[in-house]
């Protein structure tokens, strides 16, 4: 299971790989990375698609402490750094934005 240890959390992610331009997808409240199954299927042939589970959702190992949208943004940026992606496009919904 791909886990990135970031900001004291075990952030679960999936990366389609490839040489295309990276796109990172952030899910909405009460959802997880699976909400983007159709988008990954459509985009992965041309783009590198990265999706992740935010703190408190899906398969991410969250420490249970309160967090802010800024913490989620730091997790997203940290994940991109972890994966060696200096630039990406972003697709999000609801609090994922």
In the prediction, which pLDDT does 70 show? 94
pTM: 0.92
Closest CA to 90 of 50, 44, 58, 37: 50
Q: How confident is the model over 35-43, as a mean pLDDT?
A: 96
Q: Where are the alpha helices (DSSP H) in 13-88?
A: 37-43, 69-82
> pLDDT tens digits, residue range 69-94?
999 999 999 999 999 998 899 998 87
Residue 96, pLDDT > 80, answer: no
Tell me the pLDDT band of 95, cut-offs 50, 70 and 90: low
């Amino acid at each position: 299971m791909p886990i990135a240890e970031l900001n004291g959390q075990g952030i679960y992610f999936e990366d389609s790989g490839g040489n295309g331009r990276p796109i990172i997808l952030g899910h909405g409240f009460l959802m997880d990375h699976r909400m983007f199954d159709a988008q990954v299927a459509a985009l992965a042939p041309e783009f590198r698609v990265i999706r992740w589970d935010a703190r408190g959702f899906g398969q991410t190992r969250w420490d249970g402490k309160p967090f802010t949208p800024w913490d989620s943004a730091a997790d997203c940026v940290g994940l991109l750094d972890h994966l060696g992606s200096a630039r990406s496009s972003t697709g999000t919904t609801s609090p994922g934005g």
